[in-house]
Structure 1
Amino acid sequence: MEEEIKAEFSNSGFSLNEEEEILRKCLTFCINYSLSPSDLVSSWEVYYLNRRVSAIVQLNESTVHNAEMDGFLLHLQNEVKESIINEEPNLHVYSSKDVDMMFNDGDRYVKEETIGTPTNKIYPLSSEPFDSGYQQSGSAYSASKPSDIVTPFGDRKEKFAVKFSINPLSTEENGKELEPDSEDDFLKKVESRGRCSMIFHGAKLDPNCRYMYDRIEDRFNALEGRIKRYSLALIASGVHGELMDPAVASQKSIVSVGMICCDGEGHLNDKSILLQSSNEYSGGQRVRLDLQRLSQFSLFPGQVIGIEGNNPSGHCLIASNIIDSNPLSVPADVNLPSAKRQALEKEDQLSDPSSSDKELSVIIAAGPFTTTDNLFFEPLTELLSYASRKIPQLLILLGPFVDSEHPDIRRGATERSFNEIFHLEILMKIRDYVEYLGDNVRVVLVPSIRDANHDFVFPQPGFDIRSSDLNHQITNLTNPGIFEANQVKVGCCTVDILKHLCGEEMSKNPSDGIPSDRMSRLAYHVLSQQSFYPLYPPAEDVPLDFSLAPDTLNFSLIPDILILPSDMKYFVKIVSLGGRNESEEQVKCICINPGRLAKGEGAGTFVELHYNGNPDTASASVIGI
């Protein structure tokens, strides 16, 4: 059989690195899982292709290594498990956790066998008094986890370790656990940090707004508006002269503005790039784009750029230069009328004189806020406990809060409604946090399209939470949204634009103006396009409503802090824009992906940031919870 296995691998184009050891293990796999040599190699091909597609692991061409056999074994075990579950859908595969729950009478808390009908009862935000026991211990937030159940998250050994930092504070060291502050440090922070001011920029979506009524006209106007806005800014800069129609044959060099499109389905490549100009200059016509003269570029579908080049035949624009960044000489926040801005300042900004300094301490965390094996929301409890010791001026929590992709939520294995889970497990914990620390603490909540208890639309209105006593402490921001805290402009978007851009971007030796680091380059695209979601067409799972997009997705001011939660690896990076000529000022922004607070059954990460005047002097740390 070993010879048959070797022959099947050879016929499929695979060579064996440590042949004897690999064949011995493959023979064992065939015997244990009743596989023929051809079935085994077919399973290997599926495993191999999945690993090649992954951006995390890269295999060495078509060579089978002995080190890959352990991963292949897990793949085979998962295939067998899935086939058994498909044959017997009601079968429950017991694990060691089930045994522990049986001995600890844990079935009182997790009842998946009989699923009740969700009720319409909404639990009020202040349905229970503040837990006075927390004032003594500092570790409780009305947690729903029974004390006799030990979860993988609760059993973790490393807590609050710094994974990465920029300009770290003297008390922080990478990879070391952060010690709790003493009582004296606690009192000093309470006395020294005042409440931060809060001003909102751009349009605010009403929680009851109508959505998914967009028309073809709305889509056209949204895309045309982006191209027109870029064209006006390019003309106002006075650097590149008059804009021309890129589809008209011309031997001389011209400057044109348009949107990058793909000719057909699939990803961009050097043969499928089209430039769609505006209706004003070319009637919206598309022309093929030739980039062979360029040694460096970075493009994606939906990107609005300026192009210098010539079109000798009228069928293909030969590019000699790409202007990929919108000029930054745009008035700040043109979308917000001055009267409305003054009203918001009067309503939201506090009289505390210390808030006028451009300094801010903030903790940033993105959901999910509970692990996949339960709905105890232990990571959120740990985060609030950490924040209660550090006492940041601002705590930014980004969804999903009640994650629609959580296994229990997805199969409806809970007796509480989604709103009940949100109010009991999220809002009550946050309420306890702000009540315990007092009026100087503020919390910003940003929803996600993955929130099961909220509208599935993007752009997305903020949560509709009515609580008169916490109006100035818990703020509900739209998704996406921009606000200003202590004169520090912060932009947030919970849709995973970094991951979507990563799958669509085509780059070639990025230039000095565009960051060579890929994560910085993806964040640079969001800033240079001045749009929270510049990709078009959008990803399949993004319910983009073009009737709401122009007022909420586009931003005219460059934020000091840009928060883009993603499933990709966490990072904190300083991204620069502008400054390519003497007349243009360089603008810097701190771009942050805090990672996910919970990852599977384990702990994730969050970010602690201290902003001191400008991005270069800010200190930030990515902390593993």
Structure 2
Amino acid sequence: MATSEDIKKEFIRSGFTLVEEDEILETCVTLCINYSLKPSELVASWEIYHLNRQSTDQTVKNDEMDGFLLHLQNQQKEAMMKEEAGLHTYSNRDVDMLLDGIPEDTADEIVTTPTNKSQRLVPDSFDSVSRSRDYGYSTGKSVGHVTPFGQRGEKFVVKFRIGDVAAQSENGDNNDVENSEDDMIIKKVQTRRRCSLKVNGIGPEPGCRFMYDKTEDKLNALEKRIVRHADAFVASGLYEELVDPAVASQRSIFAVGMICCDGEGHLNDKSILLQSSAERTSGQRVPLDLNRLNQFSIFPGQIVAVEGQNPSGHYLTASKLVDTLPLTPTADVDLPPAKKQNLDQEALTLTDESRENSEVSFIIASGPFTTQDNLLFEPLNELLAHAKRKPPQLLVLLGPFVDSEHPEIEKGAVDATFSEIFQVEVIRRVQEYVEFMGSEVRVILVPSIRDANHDCIFPQPPFDIHIPDLEHQITSLSNPGTFEANQVKVGCCTVDVLKHLSVEEISRNPSGVPTDRMARLASHLLRQRSFYPLYPPPESLPYDSSIAPQALRISSIPDILLLPSKMIYFVKVLSIGEGEDAAKCVCVNPGRLSKGEGAGTFVELTYKGDPETVHASIISI
């Protein structure tokens, strides 16, 4: 066993002096144990590392140990790759012979036509460790080391399910999901019909100018929101003409404004203010009393309509509060009249039969796509392997991909740029998946403000991805973004708006009446017609008021709303409105694909023309 004295002697013999000697020797002893090195071998590796850095200083410093660790890991990778150089790699032809029962001695005499990519055979699930050897930018644990993720016991376990189980089995989601990893029989992929895809470009474009917003931009954005909602309430014909809530009146009045907090802290019963429009009324803030209401749910930035009394001009006592914008699912009050008319005509021409044919299957996963102890991207490997066994029409990957909060990224202990890590560890894997599966599958990538290789701004432009021959299959969306797949409208936002709302929201419900808090938080986005209705945003969110108003607007209620969050995963059917006119939407929080050093969850979902008939499973990877 290597000792500190032996290692110190080897360093001195090679002409090196140690700074912070105790810490360095302790680290070196650990490295000798982990990598089965003798003191002489360790010092020889240090000399190579020292020469590669072209350093003239003959001292060994403790802050250089992280870089030396990466050097040792790369040496281990190269050594193991050389050892496996003589292994036989089975081709598709070899597997075809096994499945079709072709004798090995006659295989060379048979001439066959190469199969289509979509009909290729699905391999066994990836060996996450061995696959990562192809990618030179992974750091963390040694390649030969079995990670906690690789040692997990239960794989692909269904945590939650809604919809008909039998119908899900037809889509490939059967009861042996958790046992599919151990299935040694290679199955042929069933060809799926390719779905149509239409991206609604309302977000910022790649390379856009940002973080130049002024105070005037922020004021104008808030004013337009209040005016737009006020016009919608009046246009519905269900409410009276607007009155300035700050003006004293002995009769009941109707006012529209934004909920604000009277102070720097969180909202509470005593600090609720209502800010009206400066264009339509005085624009002043008036204290709002909600004690007469037995049910409400409010947060800063929410636009509400209030019926009540303000006899003194100093306090508005609410008798009714409306937080839902009275719009049809296809209308947008801020569009020009001609555009509105076209949308109405499109809604009328969308027959019941066409809606029934609006069917599409999804796999939805949200980053991080690698565990906290390494950058091997094992969870992403496993997800793509699962998608090969049970291919969806649309694979939706929500950032972060190169997570800026990952310990290795935060320390800068990587030997490549963030863009290189993204290209090699993420895009390359996705490209291989698409090429293997053929033209029937599509992949959508949505960035996150936590992506170290992308603009840290919200709203966020899409990734600038250009892959020849695959641009029609790999698509990047803005954050937030919307798209249509087989006429199914989908909206998504990777900012954790549910968590932000949960911190700021206050609510009151009748005693004894059960409530679904997660459904209520998600419903706020649809009721406010905004992907991020909270204002002011937290300091951690790089919110840009100059590009936010248009990019954050939900012009029509989507069929599916994707809201990845650290909060508990769920699939819920939300109802906005009352009676037969109520609009329904499937809201999905897939959870995180990796959690710490362990596995997370993702969602398999099949939409069949109506939110009430959706089939979905939340699966632990």
TM-score by length of 2: 0.75
1:137 to 2:123 alignment: yes
- In our comparison, the structure showing a higher alpha carbon Rg is 2
Q: What is the SS of the residue equivalent to 1:554?
A: coil
Q: Trace 1:306-455 onto structure 2 (pairs within 5 A).
A: 306-329=305-328, 331-332=330-331, 357-455=357-455
- Counterpart for residue 509 of structure 2: 509
Kindly indicate whether the alpha-carbon contact (under 8 Å) linking 2:124 and 2:186 is maintained by their aligned counterparts in 1.
no
Kindly indicate whether the alpha-carbon contact (under 8 Å) linking 1:510 and 1:516 is maintained by their aligned counterparts in 2.
no
Letter matched to residue 226 of structure 1: R
Distance 1:381 1:310, change over 3 A: same
Kindly indicate whether the alpha-carbon contact (under 8 Å) linking 1:207 and 1:461 is maintained by their aligned counterparts in 2.
yes
Taking the aligned partners of 2:179 and 2:159, their CA distance within structure 1 comes to 11
Q: What is the SS of the residue equivalent to 1:234?
A: helix
- Counterpart for residue 618 of structure 2: 622
Taking the aligned partners of 1:602 and 1:242, their CA distance within structure 2 comes to 57
Letter matched to residue 532 of structure 2: Y
Taking the aligned partners of 1:543 and 1:413, their CA distance within structure 2 comes to 25
Taking the aligned partners of 1:555 and 1:579, their CA distance within structure 2 comes to 20
Kindly indicate whether the alpha-carbon contact (under 8 Å) linking 2:296 and 2:509 is maintained by their aligned counterparts in 1.
yes
Q: What is the SS of the residue equivalent to 1:408?
A: helix
Letter matched to residue 150 of structure 1: V
Number of corresponding residues: 510
Distance 1:200 1:152, change over 3 A: same
1:403-449: CA deviation from partner (whole Å, max 9, x where unpaired): 00000000000111101100000000000000000001000000000
Q: What is the SS of the residue equivalent to 1:221?
A: helix
Higher mean C-alpha displacement, 146-155 vs 399-408:
146-155
Kindly indicate whether the alpha-carbon contact (under 8 Å) linking 2:305 and 2:323 is maintained by their aligned counterparts in 1.
yes
Deviation at 1:379, TM superposition (A): 0.1
- Counterpart for residue 112 of structure 1: 66
Kindly indicate whether the alpha-carbon contact (under 8 Å) linking 2:481 and 2:492 is maintained by their aligned counterparts in 1.
yes
- Counterpart for residue 103 of structure 2: none
Kindly indicate whether the alpha-carbon contact (under 8 Å) linking 2:356 and 2:610 is maintained by their aligned counterparts in 1.
no
Higher mean C-alpha displacement, 160-169 vs 353-362:
353-362
Taking the aligned partners of 2:521 and 2:326, their CA distance within structure 1 comes to 18
Taking the aligned partners of 2:523 and 2:21, their CA distance within structure 1 comes to 49
Q: What is the SS of the residue equivalent to 1:482?
A: strand
- Counterpart for residue 466 of structure 1: 466
1:582-617: CA deviation from partner (whole Å, max 9, x where unpaired): xx7111111111000010000000010010111110
Deviation at 1:178, TM superposition (A): 5.0
Kindly indicate whether the alpha-carbon contact (under 8 Å) linking 2:249 and 2:311 is maintained by their aligned counterparts in 1.
yes
1:150 to 123, 146, 149: 146
Q: What is the SS of the residue equivalent to 2:66?
A: coil
RMSD of aligned C-alpha atoms? 3.6
- Counterpart for residue 159 of structure 2: 163
Distance 1:331 1:360, change over 3 A: closer
Letter matched to residue 320 of structure 2: N
- Counterpart for residue 602 of structure 2: 606
Taking the aligned partners of 1:539 and 1:515, their CA distance within structure 2 comes to 30
Distance 1:93 1:368, change over 3 A: farther
Distance 1:542 1:291, change over 3 A: same
Distance 1:335 1:327, change over 3 A: closer
- Counterpart for residue 277 of structure 2: 278
Distance 1:116 1:384, change over 3 A: closer
Taking the aligned partners of 2:381 and 2:465, their CA distance within structure 1 comes to 21
Q: What is the SS of the residue equivalent to 1:445?
A: strand
Taking the aligned partners of 2:203 and 2:360, their CA distance within structure 1 comes to 24
Q: Trace 1:571-586 onto structure 2 (pairs within 5 A).
A: 571-579=570-578, 585-586=581-582
Distance 1:354 1:88, change over 3 A: farther
Taking the aligned partners of 2:360 and 2:411, their CA distance within structure 1 comes to 41
- Counterpart for residue 597 of structure 1: 593
Taking the aligned partners of 2:595 and 2:508, their CA distance within structure 1 comes to 33
1:502-561: CA deviation from partner (whole Å, max 9, x where unpaired): 00000011699x992110010011111111110001011100000000110011100111
Taking the aligned partners of 1:174 and 1:522, their CA distance within structure 2 comes to 32
1:218 to 2:186 alignment: no
Kindly indicate whether the alpha-carbon contact (under 8 Å) linking 1:202 and 1:555 is maintained by their aligned counterparts in 2.
no
Distance 1:313 1:354, change over 3 A: closer
Distance 1:136 1:228, change over 3 A: closer
Taking the aligned partners of 2:235 and 2:437, their CA distance within structure 1 comes to 49
Q: Give unmatched runs, 5+ long, in structure 2.
A: 1-19, 50-63, 72-88, 93-119, 343-352
Deviation at 1:98, TM superposition (A): 6.9
Kindly indicate whether the alpha-carbon contact (under 8 Å) linking 2:603 and 2:617 is maintained by their aligned counterparts in 1.
yes
Letter matched to residue 509 of structure 2: N
Taking the aligned partners of 1:354 and 1:469, their CA distance within structure 2 comes to 31
Kindly indicate whether the alpha-carbon contact (under 8 Å) linking 1:201 and 1:333 is maintained by their aligned counterparts in 2.
no
Kindly indicate whether the alpha-carbon contact (under 8 Å) linking 2:329 and 2:583 is maintained by their aligned counterparts in 1.
no
Distance 1:312 1:505, change over 3 A: same
Deviation at 1:217, TM superposition (A): 1.3
Deviation at 1:177, TM superposition (A): 1.6
Kindly indicate whether the alpha-carbon contact (under 8 Å) linking 2:203 and 2:479 is maintained by their aligned counterparts in 1.
no
How many percent of aligned residue pairs carry the same amino acid? 57
Kindly indicate whether the alpha-carbon contact (under 8 Å) linking 2:463 and 2:476 is maintained by their aligned counterparts in 1.
yes
Letter matched to residue 603 of structure 1: A
Q: What is the SS of the residue equivalent to 2:304?
A: strand
Distance 1:486 1:90, change over 3 A: farther
Q: What is the SS of the residue equivalent to 1:177?
A: helix
Deviation at 1:198, TM superposition (A): 1.1
- Counterpart for residue 492 of structure 1: 492
Taking the aligned partners of 1:131 and 1:562, their CA distance within structure 2 comes to 42
Letter matched to residue 125 of structure 2: S
Taking the aligned partners of 1:182 and 1:153, their CA distance within structure 2 comes to 21
Kindly indicate whether the alpha-carbon contact (under 8 Å) linking 2:563 and 2:588 is maintained by their aligned counterparts in 1.
yes
Q: What is the SS of the residue equivalent to 1:590?
A: strand
Taking the aligned partners of 2:563 and 2:494, their CA distance within structure 1 comes to 6
Higher mean C-alpha displacement, 147-156 vs 389-398:
147-156
Q: What is the SS of the residue equivalent to 2:319?
A: strand
Taking the aligned partners of 1:95 and 1:295, their CA distance within structure 2 comes to 66
Kindly indicate whether the alpha-carbon contact (under 8 Å) linking 2:228 and 2:334 is maintained by their aligned counterparts in 1.
no
Taking the aligned partners of 1:360 and 1:556, their CA distance within structure 2 comes to 22
Distance 1:185 1:265, change over 3 A: same
Q: Give unmatched runs, 5+ long, in structure 1.
A: 1-86, 118-129, 343-352
1:107-163: CA deviation from partner (whole Å, max 9, x where unpaired): 99998234999xxxxxxxxxxxx9968957343485347763200000101000001
Distance 1:324 1:301, change over 3 A: same
Kindly indicate whether the alpha-carbon contact (under 8 Å) linking 1:364 and 1:396 is maintained by their aligned counterparts in 2.
yes
1:36-82: CA deviation from partner (whole Å, max 9, x where unpaired): xxxxxxxxxxxxxxxxxxxxxxxxxxxxxxxxxxxxxxxxxxxxxxx
Q: What is the SS of the residue equivalent to 1:151?
A: coil
Letter matched to residue 378 of structure 1: E
Deviation at 1:282, TM superposition (A): 2.2
Deviation at 1:222, TM superposition (A): 1.1
Q: What is the SS of the residue equivalent to 1:609?
A: strand
Kindly indicate whether the alpha-carbon contact (under 8 Å) linking 2:200 and 2:483 is maintained by their aligned counterparts in 1.
yes
Q: What is the SS of the residue equivalent to 1:470?
A: coil
- Counterpart for residue 97 of structure 2: none
Letter matched to residue 527 of structure 1: L
Higher mean C-alpha displacement, 222-231 vs 137-146:
137-146
Letter matched to residue 597 of structure 1: L
Q: Trace 1:77-88 onto structure 2 (pairs within 5 A).
A: none
Letter matched to residue 143 of structure 1: S
Taking the aligned partners of 2:165 and 2:28, their CA distance within structure 1 comes to 44
Deviation at 1:269, TM superposition (A): 0.8
1:209-236: CA deviation from partner (whole Å, max 9, x where unpaired): 0000001111111111111111111111
TM-score by length of 1: 0.75
Kindly indicate whether the alpha-carbon contact (under 8 Å) linking 1:561 and 1:591 is maintained by their aligned counterparts in 2.
yes
Deviation at 1:621, TM superposition (A): 0.7
